[in-house]
Amino acid sequence: MAHHLDNKAVHQAEVLSNRPISAGKDQPNYLLELKLDRSFTALPGQFIQIQISEPPLTTHRELEHQNGEFQPWTVEAELDHKTPLLNRPFSLADLRTVDGFTQASVLYKVRGPGTIRLSQFRASDNLTLFGPLGSSVFTLPERVDRVVMVGGGLGLAGLLFWTNGLIEKGLPVTMVAGAPTAEQIPLPKELWSQRTGDTRNLSNVFSRLGPEAVNLYVATDDGSAGHKGFVTEVFDQVLAEKPPSERWAVYACGPWAMLRLIARAADEANVFCQVSLEEMMACGIGACQACVIKVRADNHQGWQYKLCCTQGPVFDARTIVWDQD
């Protein structure tokens, strides 16, 4: 794939499907599949901003129905002064070309006004998105024998696009996925329960993650699946079994406290580690200056701020100032 760091733009996307991937009622994980013009491309690690302030067309249709006819002012009133306001950043879980169009997958958790609104979009609805955003993406160091993906909660979504690409390259993959409960693991149950390896009915995002390609470990807070405890504990075990002759690369995405422990463990084992970070952002394009990440710098104070949106979101774990409190 060519380099796509400078093709950011506004895109109209058609919703192909938007549905929960697990049965859980509490903050369910959803998979959104989008159809975009072929001009939309992205590198693994880049992200998009979805405009959420505009209600889905299905809501427009409901308004239309209520009023007997389509009244633009009604829609405008609906747009006006309603939460959620800001666009929401999402990582891309997968990207592929199908029939001359780009298909993008977004894995998200329904947990606030923005994602509740997003979950209301239906097939054939259109939405506006901005991207691809971010200039620092996942990279593969030379001569890697195994890659290890560590996802905390929905952080795993930020690693899947990259994981799929590395599987296609033929690299052995170990994946550690953690969540509060089994239901909240952002992977279809077929992948982590039973390990039957039957991925035939899975969405394209997940279909390559079967046991022949991915060595998968799961951790849950309540022990309802896999290891009872933290994802970091499983990662420590995985790392302890690394043959000294092998070169590994670790990629992690998830809560800050988790990433800090992963980064420390990788550093102590002298293993390459990249983290995909997030911080509250408004614009996603470097204008609002909100999403600052403290990184080490060769200046009088030893650090400087970088913008997660335009100078990230992927960082070398050793460059981050992890202890910020």
Residues found near other proteins in the complex (CB under 8 A)? 8-10, 51, 53, 76, 79-87, 128, 130, 279-283, 285-294, 304-305, 310, 324
Tell the burial category of 97 from Cβ atoms under 10 Å away from its Cβ (0-12, 13-18, 19+).
Answer: exposed
The answer to whether 55 and 78 have CB atoms below 8 angstroms apart is yes
Nearer to other proteins, 128 or 204 (CB): 128
Nearer to other proteins, 171 or 282 (CB): 282
The H or E element spanning position 174 is strand 173-179
Q: What token pair was written down for 265? A: 């463990």
Nearest to 253 by CA among 155, 174, 138: 155
Amino acid at position 213, single letter? A
Which CA distances in Å does 32 have to 20, 66, 106, 196? 9, 28, 5, 25
Q: How far is the CB of 138 from other proteins (least distance, A)?
A: 22
CB of 73 to other proteins, least distance (A): 10
Nearer to other proteins, 40 or 162 (CB): 40
Nearer to other proteins, 86 or 252 (CB): 86
CB of 129 to other proteins, least distance (A): 12
Report whether 152 contacts 255 (CB < 8 A): yes
Residue with smaller CB distance to other proteins, 144 or 292 = 292
Based on CB atoms, which residue is closest to other proteins, 305 or 322? 305
Instruction: Please state the closest distance from residue 146 (CB atom) to other proteins, in A.
Output: 33
Residues 6+ apart with CB under 8 A from 207: 199, 200
Beta carbon of residue 286, minimum distance to other proteins (angstroms, whole number)? 5
Which region, left, alpha or beta, applies to residue 270 given φ > 0 means left and ψ of -120 to 50 means alpha?
left
CB of 283 to other proteins, least distance (A): 4
